[in-house]
Structure 1
Amino acid sequence: MRLTSAAILLSLIGAPISAQSIMAGVDLTSPAMTEATMTRDEVIAALAAPHADLSGARLNGLDLSGVNFKGVNLRLARLNGADLTGALLDGANLDQAWLLKARMDGASLRGASLFQAQLIGASLKSADFTDARAAGNFNKADLTGAIFVGADLGAELGNQSMGLMRGDLTGANARGADFTGARLVRTVLSFATLTDTDFSGADLSTANLAGADLTGARLTGADLTEADVTSARLSALVETDPAVLRPALNLKRAFHD
């Protein structure tokens, strides 16, 4: 079964769903998900126009490295397998965009919106998500050294229809990433590699950290109220007051010093 963008949008409006349910029933081998209808030069030409709008554009597999998409509307765009290395996406709208296995190392997404963006398996090494709304699907993504300072990956708790929409980093590699002051309420970080990651001042309340590896992480001033740390590795934490861990759930079932 194939879903059009309109059908996907209707499914979003119809009922509370998780960040992954958008994947259900989508034919990832279809031309809409694998082919491009523009060239790199055509994209750059379109961006030169006032109020450039690439919402819903099919840009799969294109080399868009270093391209300036600052403030551009890319909502529902298809960028699967695209090369956005070093691209400038500050303030861009990437809500519900498809970026499966995209290459975005060193890209700047400061203040961008990635609500329910699909970044499964994407390479985002050293990407900058400072102050971004990043409640997207980062399953198995490479976030080594990524910057999420002040970013919001948490659930929209005040909106029941969107109550399950939250950042999902299941199985992601976020070694050495910076989540200082980030909002991670109800975010899924299960089985993620979070070694040497900085969560100073981050709100991890009710987050799912089951099976995550936080060896050498910094949790100074973090809020772990009811965060699930079942089978998480909490060894060699840096300058972290033991009291920070006390509000967490299943602390006795975690591996820690």
Structure 2
Amino acid sequence: MVIRRIALGLGLAAALLAGPAAAQNMLDMVDLTSDAFTKAEMSRADLEAAIAKLPAGEKLDLFGKALNGLDLSKMDLRRTNLQAARLMGSNLAGANLEGVNLDSAWSLNSDWRGANLKGASLFGTQLVGAKLDGADLSRARVAGDFSKASMTGVKLDGADLSADEKNQSMGLMRGTFRSTNLDGASLKGANLSRALLEYASLKGANLEGANLAGSEVAGADFTDANVTGADFNGADVNSAKIGAMQNANAAKNLDQAKNLDRAYRN
């Protein structure tokens, strides 16, 4: 139970990240070279055997487990709980994690390309620098840090990346995509209210019907992005490239965006 509390504490502390300075301070507080963030308590074979032995309807509790550096590619992990797990540098490319709880998990510089994360929960999850190209996070709850991640062609249709208004005492919990590559991503109907996408690249992304109200997209690149029905009410577009957006005239409340006069319109 002590280990469980420590793991959750680390995850909750990570969830408090709200800006670059806070993120840097948090990383300074954690020794990413320690065994907790570099070694694994189980092997892939151990996981496969444990999942195979699960009684019908039960899940394998991997809360706070160190699974760093493991090759879990193409594994079916739908019957696991990965809350507060440490998956630093792990390979989950093509893995099936539909509906899995990944809240407060640590997975910096890891490989999630093509992974199925439909309906998964990533609240306070740390995926800085991760590769998620082609991954499917449709309808997922995404309030973690994906800064500097590669997410080209990712699916976030109907996903909730918005700020959590219920836990203000814990800090602002929201989807963070600072300097993230979201080129060609699909965010149809996604909720990005108050999400952070400063300097993110959204070239050719599909934002049809997305809610960007109050989001921070300063410096973001919306070149060729489809913004039909996207709501920009109160979004901070300072220095954002919005001049070559597709169907900009069909966007909602673009005239109500903040710092519109400072956005690049050409």
- Alignment TM-score > 0.5, same fold: yes
Which of 63, 83, 88 does residue 55 from structure 1 map onto?
63
| Structure 1 match to 2:78 | 70
- Give 1:79's aligned amino acid: L
User: Do the aligned partners of residues 58 and 158 (structure 1) sit closer, same or farther apart at CA in structure 2, a change above 3 Å counting?
Assistant: closer
* Per-residue deviation, 1:8: 6.1
Equivalent-residue separation in structure 1 for 2:128 and 2:11 (angstroms): 19
Equivalent-residue separation in structure 1 for 2:11 and 2:116 (angstroms): 28
Matched length:
253
| Structure 2 match to 1:110 | 118
Matched, 1:248 2:257: yes
* Per-residue deviation, 1:38: 1.0
- Give 1:64's aligned amino acid: L
Once the two structures are superposed, the pairs formed by residues 202-213 of structure 1 within 5 Å of their partners are 202-213=210-221
- Give 1:248's aligned amino acid: A
Equivalent-residue separation in structure 2 for 1:54 and 1:172 (angstroms): 29
Deviates more, 1:49-58 or 1:187-196: 49-58
Q: TM-score with structure 2 length normalisation?
A: 0.89
* Per-residue deviation, 1:71: 4.3
Q: Greater strand share, 1 or 2?
A: 2
The DSSP-based 3-state class of the residue aligned with 1:117 is strand
Deviates more, 1:154-163 or 1:34-43: 154-163
Unmatched runs of 5 consecutive residues or more in structure 2: none
| Structure 2 match to 1:140 | 148
Equivalent-residue separation in structure 1 for 2:124 and 2:230 (angstroms): 25
Equivalent-residue separation in structure 2 for 1:199 and 1:95 (angstroms): 25
* Per-residue deviation, 1:87: 0.2
Say whether the 8 Å CA contact 1:156–1:163 is kept in structure 2.
no
Identity over the aligned pairs, expressed in percent?
46
Say whether the 8 Å CA contact 1:8–1:22 is kept in structure 2.
no
Which of 53, 61, 79 does residue 87 from structure 2 map onto?
79
| Structure 1 match to 2:17 | 18
Displaced runs of 4+ in structure 1, greater than 2 A? 4-14, 16-24, 158-163
Equivalent-residue separation in structure 2 for 1:141 and 1:13 (angstroms): 21
| Structure 2 match to 1:226 | 234
Q: TM-score with structure 1 length normalisation?
A: 0.92
The DSSP-based 3-state class of the residue aligned with 2:37 is helix
Which of 94, 109, 120 does residue 101 from structure 1 map onto?
109
Unmatched runs of 5 consecutive residues or more in structure 1: none
Superposed CA deviations along residues 139-189 of structure 1, whole A, max 9, x for unmatched, are 100000000000011111133324501010001000000111111111110
Equivalent-residue separation in structure 2 for 1:158 and 1:33 (angstroms): 30
Say whether the 8 Å CA contact 1:207–1:228 is kept in structure 2.
yes
